[in-house]
Amino acid sequence: MSETPEPTSASVPPVNPASLPSENVPRGTLMALLIIPAGIIVWVILWQFGLIASLVALGIAIGALWLYRIGSGGRISRAGAVRITVITVVALLLAFLAGLVADVLPMYANQRNLDYVSALTSGEFWEFFSHAVDNNLGDVVVQLVIALVFGALGCFSVLRTAFVQTRAIEAGPNTQPPAAS
């Protein structure tokens, strides 16, 4: 019986980003957009329990990158990184707004004896919401800044990944990608 030798790590060449299939930007973007509703739901749930929901911002950025890679075929270019960053910022702003609405909506609905859908579609709700946010502006701004810091950390890792990969592709197929630190 002849035994075939197991490949060792020395015999397996490292994966070069240039060897990945071409990037499918539209499909990657559509996949990354799935992080918006998921991020909003997780944000509001944590927000309602009084936990630090701004940590979700990091998860949104990483989740958007992961979903983009699934949709794009594994490759991420600078254009893809910019799209992921925009999706992350939009998801953060919508999640933050949804968290504030989730705080104010029960108060308004109870005062008016309305169900949540009727209260949310009432024109007076948004005026009530505006006054509630204005009265608590200090707390709101601090939470928004913390969320944006965590989102920026996540986006930084996304952009860094894209720029490292793009540099390796531009350098040519025979070069090794720079080692990640």
Reference 144, options 76, 57, 33; nearest CA is: 57
Model confidence over 157-177: pLDDT tens digits? 767 776 777 666 666 555 555
pLDDT at 13 over 50: no
**Residue 14 within any structural domain of the chain:** no
- The residue with greater pLDDT, 69 or 2, is 69
Domain range enclosing 46 = 22-171
Count of structural domains, the chain? 1
Reference 82, options 18, 42, 147, 32; nearest CA is: 32
**Residue 179 within any structural domain of the chain:** no
Structural tokens at position 18: 């240039």
Answer for the pair 67, 32: CB distance below 8 angstroms, yes or no: yes
